[in-house]
A and B are shown apart, each in its own frame.
Chain A
Amino acid sequence: LDSELARDIALVCLACGFVGASFGAITVGSGLPVWLPMLMSVVVFAGAAQFMFVAIIASGGSLIAAVATGLIVNTRLVPLGFAVGDVHGRGLARLGNYVMTDESAAFTLSQKAPENRRAVFWTCSIGLFVCWNIGTVIGALGGRFISDTDAFGLDAAFPAVLLALLLPSLDNGPTRRAAAAGVVIALATSPFLPAGVPVLLALVGVLASLGGDKVARKRVTS
C-alpha cells in the first residue's frame, strides 16, 4: 500500500467511527436497548441498512418491515461482491466477503494488480469493521453528546469518497453515458420505490453504454 492510499483509507475508517458513534447514540437515544446497536454493528455491519432498521422500529413500524427494508437496501452488495470476488480464494474463503462494504469495494476496484487489490480489500474492510464497532460502542454507552453526525457533515463524507473513487472510471463516453442514465433512473424512481431498489434499477443504465462506440466513430468520421 502506498502512503497516500493508506492515508485515504485511514480517513474513511475514522469517519466511519464517528458515524458509528452517531448510530449508537441515535439508537439508544430513541429509546431502544443499549445492546441493539452493538449487536447490529457486528451481525449486520451495513450502515445504511442499520440506520433504516432502527428508524423504522423507533417510529413504531413492524420488525418485518424493518428487516425487509434493510435487506432491500443491501441487495446492491450482490453485484459489488461479484466485482471484488477475485480477491477471495475458493470455497469457504469466500465467506470473508462478510466484511465488504461500499467503500472497501470502491477502494479495491480502484486497484489493478491482484496483490494490491487483496491488500486494499482487507486493510479497508477490517479497518472499517473495527472502527464502525468501536464507534458504535462509544456512541451507545457515551450517549448524548454525539447525537447527530449530520450536523458535522460526516454523512456526506461517504458519498464524497465514493465519488472520488468513481471518477477515474468515468474516463470514457460509454461509461459516462451509462452512469448518467443510471443516476436519472435512480433519482426518477426514488419517490415511488423503497430505498435500495432505485440503486439496483439504475443498473439498467448499463444499456446506455452499449452500441455507443459506433456513434462515437460516426462522429469522428463525419
Chain B
Amino acid sequence: MMLVIAVFALGLGTFAFRVAGPVLRARVELSPRVEKLMMTGVAVLFAALVATATLI
C-alpha cells in the first residue's frame, strides 16, 4: 500500500513539473532576447544530459 502511495507521489510531482513549464510560459512575456536565452538554456540542458548519461 505504501508502495502505491509512493508511486502516485512521484507521478503527481512529475506531472506537476511537466505542466508547470507551459503554465509559466503563458505568464512570461517572451521577448526575442528571452526566447534566445531559453533556446540556449535548452541546448545546455541537453548537452549536460548527454554528458552525464554517457560519462558518469
Query: How many contacts A-B (CB < 8 Å)?
Result: 184
Complex CA gap A132/B55 in Å reads 25
Q: How far is the CB of B31 from chain A (nearest CB, A)?
A: 15
CA distance in complex: A131, B18 (Å) = 20
Closest chain B residue to A89, Cβ basis: B22
A106 to B2, CA, bound (A): 35
A197–chain B nearest beta-carbon distance, Å:
10
Query: How many angstroms between the C-alpha atoms of A183 and B50 in the bound complex?
Result: 9
Tell me the interface secondary structure of chain A in the complex: helix
Interface string of A175-189 (1 = CB under 8 A from B): 100111111011100
Residue A147 at the chain B interface, CB threshold 8 Å: no
A75-B17, A79-B42 known; A198 vs B48 contact (CB < 8 Å): yes
Known A-B contacts A78-B20, A97-B22, A183-B51; A39 and B14 likewise in contact (beta carbons under 8 Å): no
**B45–A80 CB distance below 8 A:** yes
Report the Cα distance A79→B54, complex, angstroms: 22
A64 / chain B contacts, CB cutoff of 8 Å: 6
Question: In terms of DSSP, what is the predominant structure of the interface of chain B?
Answer: helix
Closest residue of chain A to B17, judged by CB? A77
| Chain A, Cβ-Cβ closest to B38 | A83
- Contact check, A94 vs B49: say whether CB atoms are below 8 A apart: no
Q: Check B53–A63 contact: CB distance below 8 A.
A: no
Within 8 A of B (CB), among A81-122: 81-86, 88, 90, 94-95, 97-98, 100, 102, 105-106, 109
Asked if A74 contacts B47 (CB within 8 A), the reply is no
Do B43 and A170 have beta carbons less than 8 Å apart? yes
Q: Is A70 an interface residue (CB 8 A)?
A: yes
Expressed in whole angstroms, the Cα–Cα distance for A183 and B49 within the complex equals 8
Measured in the bound complex, the distance between the Cα atoms of B20 and A78 in whole Å is 6
Instruction: Tell me the B15-46 residues at the A interface (CB within 8 Å).
Output: 15, 17-26, 37-46
**From B4, B14, B41, contact of A206 by CB (8 A):** B41
Q: A66-B6, A70-B10 are in contact. Are A179 and B47 (CB under 8 A)?
A: yes
Any B CB within 8 A of the CB of A124 = no
Mark B residues whose CB is within 8 Å of A.
2-4, 6-11, 13-15, 17-26, 37-56
Closest 5 CB pairs of A and B: A81-B21, A43-B11, A202-B48, A85-B25, A85-B22
15 extra A-B contacts, CB within 8 A, seeds A36-B3, A71-B13, A187-B51 = A43-B8, A44-B14, A66-B6, A67-B6, A75-B17, A81-B17, A81-B18, A83-B21, A83-B39, A83-B42, A158-B53, A169-B43, A186-B52, A187-B55, A202-B45
Instruction: Return 23 A-B CB contacts under 8 Å, by A number.
Output: A44-B7, A45-B11, A45-B14, A63-B3, A63-B6, A66-B6, A67-B9, A74-B17, A77-B18, A79-B42, A79-B45, A81-B22, A83-B38, A83-B39, A83-B41, A84-B22, A94-B19, A162-B50, A166-B47, A169-B42, A175-B39, A178-B43, A203-B45
